[in-house]
Homo-oligomer: A and B are copies of this chain.
Amino acid sequence: MTAFIALGCVTLTEDVKVLAINASPRKYGNTYKLLKVAVRAAEESGGKVDVIHLYDYDLKPCKGCISDDEEACRPPCLMEDDAWEVLKKVRDSDAMIVATPIYWYGPPGHLKTLIDKMTVFENMAVVEGRSWVEGKVAGFIAAGGDSGEILTIAYLMVVFNSMGFLIPPWALAYYTGLGDALERQDRVLDAANVGLAVVRAVKEVRVKEWYEPHLLEKLGGGELINSVRNEADELREKTWEEREHLLRKMRSTDFRKFRQ
């Protein structure tokens, strides 16, 4: 636990490393445009940004090794493709900005495959006790012709958070429609703020190890669990009479009378 305490006093002289992923096959579309706005904001905020077009990389589908052998999934994924080239960049970044086109209300298969393969990092929680992407920061941009932006972003958020990423306030920007996203000033501003937020969050948050595997012991272990259980039992007792009354009334209802 001391590691992050030591870090607490560190003066951040190093650049904040940001990996910006354009997950659209079009290098010039709205996804890229909004991403580029975010990148500029990230740079102006002290980020050193690496922008990649994900479609420049060949990614073979994830084979789900983890389902057969929980410890087999580890860096680097051995598929014969370019995955490790991208994954290395993920590993070396402090923050990611994931910009995705909206294909059927979600990220395209190609980006999903990268996400599937990021399991090599998250699964280090199993292999050696800690996710390699824990404490990194993520922000999200989605652009598409019609709809599905929130489903796309909600999905990305819960996934990245489950891998250990921190999600700063307002970490989302989107545009849907057939025009030029750069003409929607509000959306452009949102995108810029995604870039700002991820850099700012890296600067603010010097804790890198968040999950405390021994927290239960520190909290008293079985004693904690017992005391919570006891308290719940007491609450149950206190509230049960009223609740039981309701349940009994409900259960004894002759639903047949309400059939039509």
Contacts and interface: CB of A to CB of B under 8 A. Distances in A.
Interface of A: 1, 3-10, 24-29, 32-33, 36-37, 40-41, 44, 55, 59, 61-69, 71-78, 84, 88, 91-92, 101, 103-116, 119, 124, 127-128, 132, 134-135, 145, 147-151, 153-155, 157-159, 161-162, 164-172, 174, 176, 180, 182, 185, 188-189, 192-193, 196-197, 200-201, 204-207, 210-213, 215-216, 218-219, 224-225, 228-229, 231-233, 235-236, 238-239, 243, 246-251, 253, 255, 258-260
B109 A62 contact: yes
A197 B248 CA distance: 36
B167 A192 contact: no
Contact of A224 (B8, B37, B75, B108): B37
Contacts of A116: 103-104, 108-109
A162 B173 CA distance: 10
For chain A, what secondary structure do more than half of its interface residues adopt (helix, strand, loop), or is it mixed? helix
A232 B172 contact: no
A86 to B, nearest CB: 13
A29 B67 contact: yes
Contacts of A204: 204-207
Given A106-B106, A109-B110, A232 B32 contact: yes
Given A109-B116, A250-B65, A166 B164 contact: no
Contacts of A251: 69, 71-72, 74
A250 B68 CA distance: 12
Contacts of A212: 4, 192-193, 196
A158 B150 contact: yes
B105 A159 contact: yes
Contacts of A167: 157, 161, 166-167
